[in-house]
Chain A
Amino acid sequence: MSDPIAVDPHRTRDRLLVVAGAILIAATYSYLILSQPAEIAASGTSRAGLIAMAGYLVGAVLIAAGSVRQIPTAVIAMIPVAIALNIVAGQIVSTLSLTVYLDSIGTVLVSVLAGPAAGVVTGILSNVIWGLTLTPIPLPFAVVQVVIAVLAGLAARAGVFRHVYLPPLAGVLTGFVTAMVSAPIAAFVFGGATGGSAGAIVGAFQAMGRSLLEATTLQGLLYDPLDKAITFTVVGILIAALPARFLQRFPFARTYRVFGKGPLTRTPTTSAG
């Protein structure tokens, strides 16, 4: 099962798209971090907002375009449920104005079960559909879902979800990365005002003499690790509750023995469908 689509003629093109998208996202982040301290004093009229939006969005779109063909139909059928979970949980939590978002439970779940490619598509489309139905505010943050999906997929491959206590730790690490990546969007697209309490914290850091980008980064570092730790823990609980028959349907989970040492996972060639 490790190489079911080796004959796919689009494989190289898909890989190139993903690599190009990843490079674009990394380049956008580095450029914004390196060039901003000088530009920040301008009264919101710098082009940093355009670069943050365009670089991140185009990068996310390239990665999604390169990932979608790799996803088997059984996983495609599951993705809408995961997206609905992301949006419903995220919207409920955002109306309660807590200091967490919980808008990536579905992304992490799909990434862990079916691999990062499927997780990336789940994450990006979550924010797109959120934009199509309720509010366009999450749309610029689509790239954050890409980061979450990739890191969750790597964590699953490394065997984090075989243990009870490791998912929260992986979540905290993911949270540090997403805080860094999302800070330029919060700063240059939204001016730090992404939500009630987050805005107040950005203001507090600015009042302490931090720049806007530093303030949104610090605010992210306060919020994201906790949020992602909860998300990864919830996914761990969900996986424990899902029937083993369901979990073993996914080639990714079987190949990398995501759920540990059960008899089915030890022999990845066993067809468990």
Chain B
Amino acid sequence: MAPALFVDTGSPVHRLNPVTKLVALLSILVIVFALPQWWTSAIVVVAILVPAAIVARRARALAGIGGRILLPIVLVLVLVQGFTFPGGRTVVWQWGALSLTAEGLTFALNTGARIVALVLASVLLVVTTHPGDLMSALTEHGLSPKFSYIISSTLQLIPSFRTRADGILLAQQARGLAIPRSPLRRVRVMLPLLGPLVLGMFTDVEERGTAMEARGFGSTVRRTALEAVPDSPGQRLARWLMAALAAAAVVVPLVQELL
């Protein structure tokens, strides 16, 4: 699953330190939620995310994945809030008992723009960063190796989950299990296959814990990295600047309100 999203085009965006990209993502999230007008998100998407995606040569992937995630949400948001927003007064368009209100549409625009920025920024991080690199970089910055083990291990596990499911299915078919065409009855046939799948996965990890302990996994000593993730003073500075910008986005409006 993860490798399908990540394609290494070797672009400057791919070569950035993963932590820099993560700090950028978090700063963007703070900024679009701290300055909640729709144009903040619009500026972020147009001025940062789209150019970054083009530089990374992953603009099409970003549009495809982002669109697939966002389309249903934005559609529901506009319909639901457009027609039923509690503060809606100004009726723009009426159809029977349903009335589309300007306030509802404004709400949908402001909220929707934030969701678009949130989803596109996260997807851009995912399509330009190998999860393994992200984990190594975060461990170098002091993340507990337990977290990186769990995350990296899960990413490898999900495909093997599928392989095992296929194996169980084939074994059952060899014993004469017929898989019906209709999706509902197919679900009913599949349900008994879940048991061996899940139980097999859990009993498989029994020995793994002992093996990890024997190799010093539980040790809390800070170790050096086998593969150092490239970093630069410029990126270090950029990370602090982005964090400061995000903090300013929170603090400045508060101060303005108080004065």
B77 touches A191 (CB 8 A): yes
Q: Does B241 contact A (CB under 8 A)?
A: no
- A193-B76, A196-B72 known; A44-B108 Cβ under 8 A: yes
Q: Mark A123-140, 1 if CB is under 8 A from B, else 0.
A: 001001101111111010
Closest A residue to B144 using CB positions = A68
Please give, as numbers and ranges, the residues of chain A lying within 8 Å of B237 by CB-CB distance. none
Q: Which listed residue (B126, B134, B209) contacts A78, Cβ 8 A? A: B209
Closest A residue to B220 using CB positions = A69
Q: How big is chain B's contact interface, by range?
A: 35 or more
Q: Does A241 contact B (CB under 8 A)?
A: yes
**Count of chain A residues with Cβ under 8 Å from any Cβ of B?**
69
Please give, as numbers and ranges, the residues of chain A lying within 8 Å of B107 by CB-CB distance. 43-44, 191
B198 touches A76 (CB 8 A): no
B201 touches A81 (CB 8 A): yes
A79 touches B150 (CB 8 A): yes
| Selected interface stretch from A20-28, A84-92, A143-151, A259-267 | A84-92
Q: Does B23 contact A (CB under 8 A)?
A: no
> What's the minimum C-beta distance from A160 to chain B, rounded to whole angstroms?
20
Chain A contact surface mostly: helix
> What's the minimum C-beta distance from B127 to chain A, rounded to whole angstroms?
11
Q: Which listed residue (A84, A190, A246) contacts B157, Cβ 8 A? A: A84
Closest A residue to B97 using CB positions = A207
- A53-B29, A84-B201, A211-B86 known; A133-B212 Cβ under 8 A: no
Interface residues of B in 133-174 (CB under 8 A from A): 134, 144, 146-147, 149-151, 153-155, 157-158, 161
Chain B interface residues (CB < 8 Å from chain A): 1-2, 5, 29-30, 33-34, 36-37, 69, 72-74, 76-77, 79-81, 83-87, 103, 106-112, 114-115, 118-119, 122-123, 126, 131, 134, 144, 146-147, 149-151, 153-155, 157-158, 161, 195, 198-199, 201-206, 208-210, 212-213, 217-218, 220, 250, 253
Jot down 8 A-B pairs with beta carbons below 8 A, ordered by A.
Answer: A43-B87, A50-B30, A54-B33, A71-B146, A76-B209, A77-B205, A84-B157, A131-B122
Q: Name 9 extra pairs, CB < 8 A, besides A40-B87, A50-B30.
A: A43-B110, A44-B108, A46-B36, A50-B36, A54-B33, A196-B72, A202-B80, A203-B80, A246-B202
